[in-house]
Amino acid sequence: MKKNKLEIDYLEVVVDINHKPEEVASCYQIVSDEKYNFDESKIKYRSKKILSEFDSIITLQSFSLLNDYNSKLKISGNFYKWLNGHNVTGCENLIDLVLKTIEKLKNLNLVDPTKEQLETIRLGNFRLYRVDVKRDLVFDSKQNAIQYLSTLRNLSTYPKQKKTIFENGIYFGFTSKRWSICNYHKGQEVRDNYKRSKTSLELQALADLMIRQEIRIQSKQLATWELRFGHQWRDLNNIENFFKNILDKIYIPAINLKDSKNNICDKSDRKFYNCVINGDHKEVYSRATISRKRRIFLDKYNIDINNV
C-alpha cells in the first residue's frame, strides 16, 4: 500500500476581485423587514452555478447589492474537478488551485482581476469557509483495496468520534458541524457518479486501486486549527504533517493483504473469478453455484465476490 501526498478537494473561499455582479448572479433577491417595508429593503444577487466544459460545477456569489458594489466574491465547489473534469488525481497547493480557477473565470469573462488583486491572492490573503482535503491509499489490486475498506468498516475506530457506515463509505464524526473523516473506494464512487465525471479508462483503473480518505473542515474548525486564511496553507510540509497526524489516528488492525489473482490456481475457480470480474457470472452460473462459490472464495482466497 502506498500513501499519496495530501491534496485539496472541495473549497469555499471569498476573494477580493473585480467582477460584474449581474454576470455571476442567477437572479435578484429582495430582502425586507417583517413589515415588508420595500423602501428600506435591499436587493441582493443570488448565487449562480457555472458549468465547465467537463459538466462540472462551481458556484459564484457576489457580495454586492444592486446599488452598492462590493468586489468580494464567494467561490465554492470542487475546483480541481471543475478545471479537469475529474478528481482522481489532485493538487497539493491550495493557493495555486485558487489562482488557476480565477484564471479560468477570467477567460470566461466572469472576473476581471487587477495585478494588485492577483498578488493579494497569491500571498494567500483571502478567507476560507470550508476545505476538504484528501489522501489516497493506493493498493496493488482492486481486491486489496476492497479488503482494506471491509476491515475499516468492521474493525476500525477513531478517538472520540462515532463511526457511521454507508455502502461505500465509513465516516468518523458524520454529524459534526466542525469536521469529519470519510473513507471510501474511489473506483466505486467514480462509477456511481459517471455522468458527472470525465474519467478516462486509465484513471478509472487507477481509482479502482484507491481508498480515499477525506477530511471535511467547516469554518469554525478552520478557525480553531488556524487555517481559515489562504496564507496559513502556504507551508505544504506543515499542512502535510498536520493532516497526516489526524488521519493516522484511525485505528485498524494489521491486515494480511493477499495478491488475489495469483492465489487462484484452481482452473474452475479462476474461470468463475474472471466471469465475476467481467460482470457476467449471473448469466453463466446458477444462483446455487454462485452462493457455493462465494463461500469457497471467502474461505480459500479471502475474497468477497459481492464486492469485486
Per-residue confidence (pLDDT) for residue 17, from 0 to 100: 97
Does 247 have pLDDT greater than 80? yes
Per-residue confidence (pLDDT) for residue 141, from 0 to 100: 87
Per-residue confidence (pLDDT) for residue 174, from 0 to 100: 97
124 and 199 within one domain: yes
Structural domain contains residue 252: no
14-33 burial, b if ≥16 CB within 10 A, otherwise e?
bbbbebebeebbeeeeeeee
Q: What is the pLDDT of residues 84-97, one digit of tens each?
A: 999 999 999 999 99
Does 36 have pLDDT greater than 70? no
User: Which has more confidence, 193 or 216?
Assistant: 216
265 and 193 within one domain: no
Structural domain contains residue 254: no
Per-residue confidence (pLDDT) for residue 148, from 0 to 100: 93
CB 285 within 8 A of CB 275: yes
CB 228 within 8 A of CB 222: yes
Q: Which of 251, 247, 264 is nearest to 308 (CA)?
A: 264
Does 22 have pLDDT greater than 70? yes
Does 260 have pLDDT greater than 60? no
pTM of structure: 0.82
105 and 24 within one domain: yes
Does 173 have pLDDT greater than 60? yes
When pLDDT is cut at 50, 70 and 90, the band that residue 164 belongs to is very high
Per-residue confidence (pLDDT) for residue 244, from 0 to 100: 98
Q: Which of 137, 128, 219 is nearest to 170 (CA)?
A: 137
Task: State which of 202, 217, 247 marks the end of a domain.
Answer: 247
Structural domain contains residue 133: yes
Structural domain contains residue 291: yes
Does 103 have pLDDT greater than 90? yes
